[in-house]
Amino acid sequence: MTVVTSSRTIRGSLRAPFRGLPASVGLCCLWICIVGVIGVTARWMSPFDYLAQNPLSRFAWPFASASHLLGSDYLGRDVLSNVLVATQTTLMIALVGSVVCALIGTTLGLLAAHFGGWVDNVLMGFADAMASVPFIIIALGVLAMFGSSPLLFVFLVGFQNWERYARLTRGLVISAREEGYAEAARIVGVPAKRIYFRHMLPNIAGPLIVQFTVNFPEIILLESGLSFLGLGIQPPATSLGLMVADGRTYLAIAWWIAAFPGVVIVLTTLSISLLGDYLRDRFDARLR
């Protein structure tokens, strides 16, 4: 019997995901890390209380003074502090929303694949119905009817695009079920639940992770859009979308109020999208 000598070392497998990483994706990762740090430490990092008003220094220009690095707004609030806190809020909503969305979609997709028949038809019909209406209209309707509370808002944005997860999971599970290892597990007598979670899930996780990175920026945009329309985060709480909406009025005389949160939105969504594209290629065996 020959002994196979090649085995992946731990360090090698840790480094493997970063080998041949394009510079653009590296920059994206860097920005995501920065945003992540901001998300955790915003309250300590911000130089001012983000709500502290100072009528004497309204509309201070950015980069002009050391105290208001990114300028101040129409109430003399520090823009940098506001951006930091708003990033935290938006990130929180997007993160919780994405997780909620992934859980709902994956669960329903799994149920559709497992039961098939009318359960499958009902779930997929529902998914089709959801996909056929722009979600922002549904969101507007729900928020107008029930009023905006943070909890409702988080779950609402979590419902956006759940049908994509459901379809993806359903397809992946149905095709994985036909693979030899799933049948082999069945023959051994492994219960269905264990087959799904222990055997199939690690094998289909790649596309789901990629879907997560695609969904994440879309939730940020939805949150920003709804807050911009005044139906999302309510003042005095702040979010990136709300800041853009606020600053829009003063765009002609103080562009920085809307521009900086806008830049954070653009860079964050762009970074996560690019990372998602890259991960999709990495996880696809045919493209590796």
Partner 1 sequence: MTAPLLRARDLTKAYHHKTGVFARPTSQLAADSISFDLMARERIGIVGESGSGKSTLGRLLLGLTSPTRGTVCFEGVDHDDRSSQDWIAFRKRTSLVQQNPLAALNPQMTIGEQVAEGLLVHRAASKAAAQERTAAMLERVGLSSAMMTRFPHQMSGGQRQRVVIARALILDPKLVVFDEAVSALDVSVQAQVVALLRSLWQERDLAYVFITHDLRIVRHLVDRIAVMYLGRVIETGDIRAVYEQPRHPYTRALLASVPTIDPSIRNIEPPIKGELDPDKVSQGCAFRSRCPFAIDRCTIETPLLRAFGAQRAACHRSEEFAGPMKPQAAAPPRKELA
CA distance 144 to 105: 25
Amino acid, single-letter form, for residue 55: P
Binding partner 1 (rule: CB under 8 A), the pick from 6, 23, 117, 288 is 6
Binding partner 1 (rule: CB under 8 A), the pick from 3, 137, 145, 252 is 3
**Residues of this chain, 150-209, that bind partner 1 according to CB under 8 A:** 179-181, 183-191, 194, 198-199, 202-203
Could you tell me which residues come within 8 angstroms of residue 190 by beta carbon, excluding any fewer than 6 positions away? 198, 199
Which lies closer to partner 1 via its Cβ, residue 184 or residue 263?
184
Which lies closer to partner 1 via its Cβ, residue 6 or residue 132?
6
Q: What is the DSSP letter of 242?
A: H
Alpha helices in the chain (DSSP H): 10-15, 23-45, 79-115, 117-132, 135-146, 150-159, 162-177, 180-188, 192-194, 201-228, 240-248, 256-283
Least distance in angstroms from the C-beta of 226 to partner 1: 39
Least distance in angstroms from the C-beta of 199 to partner 1: 5
Could you tell me which residues come within 8 angstroms of residue 282 by beta carbon, excluding any fewer than 6 positions away? 17, 288
Which lies closer to partner 1 via its Cβ, residue 2 or residue 132?
2
- Determine, following the binding rule CB under 8 A, whether residue 230 of this chain makes contact with partner 1: no
- Determine, following the binding rule CB under 8 A, whether residue 281 of this chain makes contact with partner 1: no
- Determine, following the binding rule CB under 8 A, whether residue 36 of this chain makes contact with partner 1: no
Say if CB 31 and CB 268 are below 8 A apart: yes
Which lies closer to partner 1 via its Cβ, residue 178 or residue 236?
178
Radius of gyration of the chain (CA): 23
Which lies closer to partner 1 via its Cβ, residue 58 or residue 186?
186
Amino acid, single-letter form, for residue 35: V
- Determine, following the binding rule CB under 8 A, whether residue 116 of this chain makes contact with partner 1: no
Q: What is the DSSP letter of 46?
A: -
Please state the φ and ψ torsions of residue 127, each to the nearest 5 degrees.
Answer: -60, -40
Number of residues that bind partner 1 (CB under 8 A): 24
- Determine, following the binding rule CB under 8 A, whether residue 10 of this chain makes contact with partner 1: no
Residues lying near partner 1 in the complex (CB under 8 A) are found at 1-4, 6-8, 179-181, 183-191, 194, 198-199, 202-203
